[in-house]
Chain A
Amino acid sequence: MVDTAFGPTPDPHPGGPQAGYLAMVRRRRLYGSVLAILFFALMASGFHLADARNAGGFWQGLHQVFDFPAEVVREAWAKRANLPGLFFKFVPSMIETINIAAVSTLLGGGAAIVLALLSTRGLARWPRLIWVFSRLMDGLRAVPEIVIALVLIFVLGGGPVPAMIAIALHTSGALGKLFSEVAENADLKPVEGLASVGARWGQRMAFGVLPQVAPNWLSYTLLRFEINIRASAILGFVGSGGIGYDLKLAMQWGIGKYDQVIAIFSILFLTIVLFDQLSGHLRERLTKGAHK
């Protein structure tokens, strides 16, 4: 402050700056060791509890872990000539799964934008309702997709629509939280500049905030899209169509259809790798700018 500019600043640590720093180092080391002890205690007790509650025995069962995969691979290898054909057979289901993921990412992302802006300090349209909107997002994110999907399938019947709604709801909560954290760091000067010309709240957000946060928001959305492809495949297990449903049928059939299981796993794996690479590349460009 200007008022204190002409006087000496009092030293906050009477023992000199070295003593203050050494005290800080000691404190940090103490916290570090406490954390390490806590970590090992939790690991040991957690494992002990899990092993004690296990129906079988962890150590007795351990050597059987690879029996099932080995059986699957053995059968698929014997029928390896079928694999390319099966591969193409499952492409339409894979596309359906990707479709569910894409629509739910778009819908959830749109809702996340609104929820995020309404719950960000400094930007919120109604600052008093920030608490309400952040708790709403917590709630949406806390319920797993599969729980929402099971309820919706019970009400609406099986198919892609319940899966899409379930993933979109979860996405709006999860992305909303990330969006809000990005928006919190947005520079408020452009927003203030727009407020000074009499812009409405929507205009201030669209022109003042969106250009700043768009690269990071898009990057998070792409990441979420990847996650949603997996989620949508899993939801197939509970009857919402797509590749997950085919996988469930093949696995339930058991011996005789393991070549299908392998085909489905490969196509799922390849798709996820493909989108991971694609979105990684896009995100790099968005946050760091195109190569010049």
Chain B
Amino acid sequence: MLLEVRNVSRVFGAKTAVDRMSFTLDKPGFLGIIGRSGAGKSTFLRLVNRLTGASGGEIRFRGKNVLALRGAEMRAWQSQCAMIFQQFNLVPRMDVASNVLHGLLNRRSTLATMFSLWSDADIHRALEILDRLGIAEQAAKRAEALSGGQQQRVAIARALMQDPAIILADEPIASLDPMNAQIVMDSLRRIHDEDGRTVIANLHTLDTARRYCDRVIGMRDGRIVFDGRPDQLSAAVAREIYGANEHFSEAATSTSIDVLEPGDAELLPA
């Protein structure tokens, strides 16, 4: 068993963000989690990476409960379980290669990293990874000078530098234009296909999930309401996940329905 999620919950005050979530993953796969904003997708990924604590349950990776890890053991788990964020979360004022090398912060001596004393082998590997993602020529630029799509590829490079068993992607394409979104999703899929790494991606839209994932989990109000193959995502299932009324059409989920503000309702197709 690769990953076993059992009865995981996370409560914020009166709100239950993740409600007794359970599923298993027996071999490396490309798993998509879909649902609207506030459905608990991000909280779940943050629980797996231990950026936030769980209120109950277990997450077992190769049999070991990662929710019980503390201190250095927890950081060692985080270094095996890479995370990609919607806003890239790079260090904007540092150069691209340094940002990629940050993936090694847990694996090298603290003192050496504090003075950025990376070995030539490490630097070469960082540049190779950047090359693999097609942005090697940006290595010396400041991260903030890059476009959103390029920054997200730097974030993927940082994740690959961690040599992770599992990559968690929290809305990786939600702030990107369609072309960059495709480049980023293609990169993630290729990493899964070529390296056999598990990818769990939170996605906004049904069509992205259909196109890239082997398996899709649909969440609503912190609970799993769908778990199956992408071709099983019918209009009825979509309604169940997105909780829309009879005016809802599936087309709305292919634009980012979650970013609509009050007053934008008339933009939805009737």
Contact = CB atoms under 8 A, between A and B. Distances in A.
Interface of A: 1-2, 4-6, 9, 187, 189-190, 192-200, 202-203, 206-208, 211-212
Given A206-B114, A208-B91, A195 B258 contact: no
Given A194-B105, A199-B102, 6 more contacts: A5-B260, A196-B49, A198-B74, A198-B105, A198-B106, A203-B113
Nearest to A9: B262
A211 B143 CA distance: 12
B38 A203 contact: no
A2 B243 CA distance: 11
A194 B90 CA distance: 8
B110 A211 contact: no
B105 A2 contact: no
B87 interface: yes
A203 B105 CA distance: 8
A197 B258 CA distance: 28
Contact of A197 (B82, B87, B92, B265): B82
A154 to B, nearest CB: 40
B85 A2 contact: no
A208 to B, nearest CB: 6
Nearest to A205: B114
Contact of B92 (A1, A2, A9, A190): A190
Interface string B111-137: 001100000000000000000000000
A211 B93 contact: yes
Given A190-B89, A192-B85, A208-B91, A203 B264 contact: no
A193 B89 contact: yes
Contact of B91 (A1, A195, A200, A211): A211
Contacts of A194: 91, 102, 105
B93 A199 contact: no
A122 to B, nearest CB: 13
B155 interface: yes
B89 A198 contact: no
A193 B88 CA distance: 8
Please give me the 6 A-B residue pairs with the lowest Cβ-Cβ distance, nearest first. Answer: A193-B89, A198-B106, A198-B78, A198-B79, A198-B75, A196-B83
Contacts of A211: 91-94
A4 B38 CA distance: 13
Interface of B: 36-38, 49, 51, 74-79, 82-83, 85, 87-94, 102-103, 105-106, 110, 113-114, 155, 158, 162, 257-258, 260-265
Contacts of B158: 193, 197
A9 B103 CA distance: 46
Given A2-B260, A196-B49, A207 B79 contact: no
Nearest to A190: B91
A1 B260 CA distance: 9
Given A5-B262, A193-B85, A200 B110 contact: yes
B92 to A, nearest CB: 7
Contacts of B38: 1-2
A285 B102 CA distance: 28
Given A189-B89, A194-B102, A203 B114 contact: yes
A125 B241 CA distance: 39
Given A189-B85, A189-B87, A196 B93 contact: no
A211 B142 CA distance: 12
A197 B162 contact: yes
Contacts of B74: 198
A195 B81 CA distance: 11
Residue of A5, A193, A195, A202 contacting most chain B CB atoms (<10 Å)? A193
